[in-house]
Chains A and B, each alone.
Chain A
Amino acid sequence: AQSVAQPEDQVNVAEGNPLTVKCTYSVSGNPYLFWYVQYPNRGLQFLLKYITGDNLVKGSYGFEAEFNKSQTSFHLKKPSALVSDSALYFCAVRAPGFKTIFGAGTRLFVKA
């Protein structure tokens, strides 16, 4: 069965410290990988994606993600967290055929 796992319900980090939000997936074929962010009472916003090529992709607001095919992971990272980064983050996989699978989400809390 196809699935996306975000093993941490919540990640706590101090402002200025690096952050990592983890994502692993189990999908057949070569999927497309995405990160989205949801701020309170808002819809989801696209952050970044991996389609092909360089395993390190850069996205909006200083975020980046590293694709690791052997570990089937796509972890979200940022070198220096901001309080304004506090939000709910979703990893998503778009399988061949355009079905989309989301992880359960990870709440990021950045403390000043």
Chain B
Amino acid sequence: EAQVTQNPRYLITVTGKKLTVTCSQNMNHEYMSWYRQDPGLGLRQIYYSMNVEVTDKGDVPEGYKVSRKEKRNFPLILESPSPNQTSLYFCASSPSGRGGYEQYFGPGTRLTVT
């Protein structure tokens, strides 16, 4: 089954404790992206990657890191989480082409930072 998987699905952590949220896709997509969803703000793009070793900032990259060492994986790293990073996080992927492809979304990771 074609899918985007994220782990963990739920995470409660404390301020300053480094964490990684994994994202993997099995569709051989070049493009991958991370979003956060907050009430009233919709989805905001954190980082995106056009292909292996190619990443770029979205609208809200502060406090996050990413890496794209393999085509199928795109982990999101919070080096020192803070309460304002409490949110619902989605990973997505799509073919690259010229940008006209829809994105496939993972099930989401609900993160709480206390």
| Chain B binds chain A | yes
Partner-B contacts on A (CB < 8 A): 6, 9, 32, 34, 36, 42-46, 49, 51, 90, 92, 94, 96-105
**Is the CB–CB distance between B48 and A98 below 8 Å?**
yes
Chain B contact residues, majority secondary structure: strand
> What is the total of A-B residue contacts with beta carbons within 8 Å?
61
Contact A104-B42, Cβ < 8 Å, known A32-B99, A43-B106, A99-B58:
yes
Tell me the bound Cα distance from A4 to B76 in angstroms.
Answer: 25
Q: Mind listing 16 A-B residue pairs with CB under 8 Å?
A: A32-B100, A43-B106, A43-B107, A43-B108, A44-B92, A44-B103, A44-B105, A45-B105, A46-B103, A46-B104, A49-B100, A90-B43, A94-B100, A98-B50, A101-B59, A104-B41
User: How many Å from the CB of B66 to the closest CB on chain A?
Assistant: 14
**Is the CB–CB distance between A99 and B45 below 8 Å?**
yes
Tell me the bound Cα distance from A100 to B105 in angstroms.
Answer: 13
**Is the CB–CB distance between B102 and A102 below 8 Å?**
no
Name the one of A46, A90, A96, A97 contacting B42, with C-beta atoms under 8 angstroms. Answer: A90
**Is the CB–CB distance between A43 and B100 below 8 Å?**
no
Name the one of A32, A49, A90, A104 contacting B40, with C-beta atoms under 8 angstroms. Answer: A104
